[in-house]
A and B are shown apart, each in its own frame.
Chain A
Amino acid sequence: MILRKYLKVYKKFLHTSFASELEYKTNILVDLITAILSLVGSIFLLSIFFQNSGYIGGWKFEQALIIQAIYTILNGITNTWFNPNLTEIVKHIREGTLDFVLLKPIDSQFFISLKKINPSGFLEIMLGFLLLFFCVRINQIDLNLIFLTLSLITISCSICILYSLWFFISTTTIWFVKTWNAIEVLRSFLYIGRFPLNSFSFSLRIFFSVFIPIAFITTIPSEVFLGYSVLWKIVLEVIVATVFLITSRKFWLFALKFYTSASS
């Protein structure tokens, strides 16, 4: 019953978001062109890095392309859902329109995380998958059931970690009001996720695994694709994703107790 209601509401979210975005046709076109150029630029940059040695951190160019593909999919998801919704939290809190969300008989985290959608991000997701299929072919990866399940688990976990980190930062707006910079820093760290973790020094690897788990976001799913992955890493990613999701949820509910609404 509850699931049916939430699906119905989400269908409405999709409908209103698409309708809103389609009001501005040129904007969509520009976004689509930007997504294509951005992917081409990224592959070009990656090819420059590999021009001399052919290997970075033990990864070949064809293998590193997998990370780029996963990064493109995640970036597409970021642009489709996280960017239009989670940056809006800051606006909701600053302007006091979170009041309307909190007074609706629906989960507030669901509402503010999924209300909007940016259709042009879908192209990025599609491009990411196309690149991934291309990588599967050139790296001669065997597409069996175990491989597909593990890929799905690790990519889902990556999405959860990224969402939780972003949502956590946005929630702090309840106390700090402006947190744009922190979100920009997170996005910058995500760019780093385009490169294999082994290409960084030991200290940076620790930093990107423990403090800001970028390693979990792109490198572990890529290792699954290449058959390098070990089980403990996948289990660890699942644990990290679960802990992050639960913590972000608890943190949101805790933060709401301090919400004072904007003055009228």
Chain B
Amino acid sequence: MVKNIIDVKNLSKSFDISYKETGLKGTIKHFFRRQTKSLKVIKNISFEIKEGEIVGFLGANGAGKTTILKMLCGLIYPSEGSILVSGYLPFRRKENFLKNITLIMGQKQQLIWDLPPIESFYLNASIYDLDKFEAKKRIKKLSEMLEIDKELFIPVRKLSLGQRMKSELLAALIHEPNILFLDEPTLGLDINAQRNLRKFLQKYNKETNATICLTSHYMKDITSLCKRVICVHEGAISYDGKLDLLLKKLSPVKEILIVCRSEEDAIKLENYGFTVKNKIKNEITIKIENNSITSSLKTILNNFDIEDLFINEPPIDEVIGKVLIKKDYDI
């Protein structure tokens, strides 16, 4: 049985947020008497993650995804509840715990701007107590996997965003961590760079059995990497389970465009009892529930003279978009 590597129970986090009224009066008031309010950004959440799992955290901006990741890696103290990551209390930031994890943030960088990335890699290697030979071996292996072996000696400021992100990944993985926390790692990258990064993460997960916790606003990152998703809505978990189950729940019907040989057949089909979305001449679009697709298609093909037929999946972004605004998914 695969053991749990992350165990979160009744976790909550509150921040003191200051409010400011508009205008000069508001500014002066804000300067002399700052009004603060305690805001509960994470509300009593619990979940477990197994070793080797890739879990996607989904949610709108400000839902609390990054705060959860930062509590998991020990950057932020939780207000209530408990977290165990690889058997450690993250916020104590014990050396052995830190050697096991890594955090990659798409919008922040740790590489030394004026120097080639290889200098930052060796610096990180010395911090993680790796000898020169081991560091060289790992840099070679990871740079080949990430396809950046040619960029290792070019100053970071001269690299493209994609090359920089790959270098950030290498810097963050040189100590071969077991748990990866990725906060929007593909932010701002072009389609090819995104795909390469996803391919690398898949390979890394397969080769090392590392656990990956990922947040991303690019649905392709989530659908191609994560079997399981945790949806966060206003600091609470609205769904925790398999991605394909969520997609089925969110889009229970498929749209089928049927091109009939004659308009008469289209009229006959329109009156047959299916839910019709629209009809233009001999083309008719109907909606069929996922669980009755096979039987419905059999009926249509047996009873009507059909020229062509298209089954349309609803766009994934549109479907997932529903998650970001809905509070609860009972599956």
- Where the two chains meet, the residues of A that have a C-beta atom closer than 8 Å to any C-beta of B are 5, 8-9, 11-13, 15-16, 19-20, 23-24, 95-97, 99-100, 102-106, 257, 259-261, 263-264
When the two chains form the complex, which single residue of B15, B105, B122, B127 contacts A105, counting CB atoms closer than 8 Å? B127
Chain B residue nearest in CB terms to A9:
B126
When the two chains form the complex, which single residue of A11, A20, A103, A260 contacts B98, counting CB atoms closer than 8 Å? A103
Contact B115 A259 (CB under 8 A): no
- The 6 A-B pairs of least Cβ separation, nearest first, read A100-B110, A105-B98, A105-B95, A20-B114, A23-B114, A12-B126
B184 beta carbon closer than 8 Å to chain A: yes
- Where the two chains meet, the residues of B that have a C-beta atom closer than 8 Å to any C-beta of A are 15, 66, 70, 73-77, 93, 95-96, 98-99, 101-103, 105, 107-110, 112-115, 119-120, 122-124, 126-129, 155, 183-184
In the bound complex, how far is the Cα of B66 from the Cα of A96, in angstroms? Answer: 12
Contact B123 A99 (CB under 8 A): no
Q: Which residues of B contact A13 (CB under 8 A)?
A: 123
7 more A-B residue pairs beyond the given contacts A260-B15, A264-B66, with a C-beta to C-beta distance below 8 A: A12-B122, A12-B126, A16-B115, A23-B115, A261-B75, A264-B107, A264-B184
Contact A105 B108 (CB under 8 A): no
Q: Which residues of A contact B129 (CB under 8 A)?
A: 5, 105
- Can you spell out 6 A-B residue pairs with CB atoms less than 8 angstroms apart? A9-B126, A13-B123, A96-B108, A103-B103, A259-B76, A261-B70
Given A20-B114, A264-B66: A103 in contact with B74 (beta carbons within 8 A): yes
Given A19-B119, A103-B102, A257-B77: A264 in contact with B15 (beta carbons within 8 A): no
Contact B183 A9 (CB under 8 A): no
Chain A residue nearest in CB terms to B108:
A97
Q: Which residues of A contact B124 (CB under 8 A)?
A: 104
In the bound complex, how far is the Cα of B67 from the Cα of A261, in angstroms? Answer: 9
In the bound complex, how far is the Cα of B122 from the Cα of A264, in angstroms? Answer: 27
Give the Cβ gap from B167 to chain A, nearest Cβ, in Å. 14
